[in-house]
Amino acid sequence: MNYTFDWNKVLSGEYLDWIISGVGVTLQISAVSLAIALLLGTAIAVMRMTKVKPLIWFSASFTEFFRNTPLLVQIFFWYFGADSLLPRFALDWLYEQDFEFCAGVIALSVYTAAFIAEEIRAGVNSIPKNQLEASRACGLTFVQAMRYVILPQAFRIIVPPMISQALNLVKNSSLCMTIGVAELTYMARQIESYTFRGFEAFTISTLIYLCISLIVSFSINFYNKRYMRAVSY
């Protein structure tokens, strides 16, 4: 037990730049994935609540498949299986951008969307059914009733579980290091390989993940309280 801690070596020069770069990639992949997951999850939830059986079957299959398979397996699936699934022009575009980043975004988005869809469906089911019927009676289509009447109320109800999903996505983004995405955990692993300062590198990355999670949770809760106060007023 003669280990000597050296925080300055990790928090200075090139290695500090690596940490900052890793944080930027983590925030970027998390933000993009969360935005896509919200849109896709909302669409899947609405499909599940229609009376069109093909849409119900598709949405139910989507939700059950992606919720009940490991995220790491899905990341490998999209990374190694994209050549077999996507057309050539789409692959060429992905390789021109950042294929590893895009594969990570796809995996995180569809995985998180499956959970978000169930949260939204639960929120919609908690709203009295007569509101949808009244909306349809006023001349709104099913999609319009969902967009203007039902979903705004459902999203206010499901804020707490949505915070959990957002935080889980940020933490799950660390798995993208397995396909070469240079996010925070990847950079911490690189620093450990170059400096043999694994304790310092992963302690710093852990604290950064904690700070990001607390900031996200506080921001969403603060917005929700302000919004709810404005609505009640």
Q: What is the pLDDT of residues 196-212, one digit of tens each?
A: 888 999 999 999 999 99
pLDDT of residue 110: 96
Please determine, for residue 228, whether its predicted confidence score (pLDDT) is greater than 70: no
pTM of the model: 0.88
17 contacts 204 by C-beta, under 8 angstroms: no
Mean local confidence (pLDDT), 87-112:
89
26: exposed, middle or buried (Cβ count in 10 Å: 0-12, 13-18, 19+): buried
pLDDT-derived band at 172 (thresholds 50, 70, 90) equals: very high
